[in-house]
């Protein structure tokens, strides 16, 4: 795609893997957090890092009721007009009013949103979503998030050899905006416990 966007899901994960490996030494403690598309990428990033000898102490996946990508747009993102894409965003709570009513903001953000959906669509075709990770998973979702269809029992559990826990918050797809302080506190607490088990003091 143009404007410097990733051309494929694989390219995005390749780039993030290179950046992570460059910043880490084997055995370094770290955690990964991803929201929405970021959660989808984070799970694949962890798979890739584990294949290279790294493992996150916690993998926080936010705004994804199920690990598999479910198409919420009527057609592939590249085929939609701007208005059709905007309408499709209703499943995520729609665009913020400040963006939706401002032509320049739409011009800036719609290509980014379209590129994000393209990566999700490409990833759904190109990766095996059933491959488990060794890192423990922490799943966070908004109670009113229509886009995060809940996974059947056992689906998330099958994706981690170290356990899964679930946290539900008031709000829709962008529940993190309304619950930021408590989510940060959760990340700090869970990461601290994992690091203390590995002998890292604070």
Query: Would you list the domain boundaries of the chain?
Result: 9-197
DSSP category for residue 55: -
CATH number of 9-197: 3.40.50.1820
Q: What is the pLDDT along the chain (202 residues), one digit of tens a residue?
A: 445 899 999 999 999 999 999 999 888 899 999 999 999 999 999 999 999 999 999 999 999 988 887 777 888 898 999 889 888 888 787 777 777 777 888 888 889 999 999 999 999 888 888 899 999 999 999 999 888 878 888 999 999 999 999 999 999 988 999 999 999 999 999 886 555 555 443 3
Closest by CA to 194, choosing from 169, 156, 163, 149, is: 163
Judge whether 179 and 169 are in contact, CB under 8 Å: yes
| Predicted TM-score of the model (pTM) | 0.86
C-alpha distances (whole Å) from 45 to each of 13, 32, 49, 95 are: 6, 9, 6, 28
């Amino acid at each position: 795609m143009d404007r410097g966007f990733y051309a494929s899901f694989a390219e995005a994960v390749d780039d993030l893997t290179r950046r992570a490996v460059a910043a880490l030494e084997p055995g370094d403690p770290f955690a990964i957090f991803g929201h929405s598309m970021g959660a989808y990428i984070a799970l694949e990033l962890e798979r890739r890092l584990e294949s290279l000898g790294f493992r996150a102490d916690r993998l926080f996946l936010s705004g994804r009721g199920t690990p598999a990508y479910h198409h919420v747009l009527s057609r592939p993102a590249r085929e939609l007009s701007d208005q059709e894409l905007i309408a499709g965003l209703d499943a995520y709570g729609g665009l913020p009013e400040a963006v939706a009513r401002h032509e320049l903001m739409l011009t800036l953000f719609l290509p980014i949103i379209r590129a994000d959906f393209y990566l999700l669509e490409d990833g759904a075709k190109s990766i095996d979503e059933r491959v488990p990770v060794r890192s423990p998973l922490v799943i966070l979702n908004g109670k009113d998030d229509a886009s995060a269809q809940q996974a059947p029992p056992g689906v998330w559990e099958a994706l981690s050899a170290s356990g899964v826990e679930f946290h539900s918050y008031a709000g829709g797809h962008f529940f993190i905006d309304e619950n930021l302080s408590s989510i940060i506190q959760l990340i700090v607490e869970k990461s601290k416990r994992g690091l203390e088990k590995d002998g890292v003091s604070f």
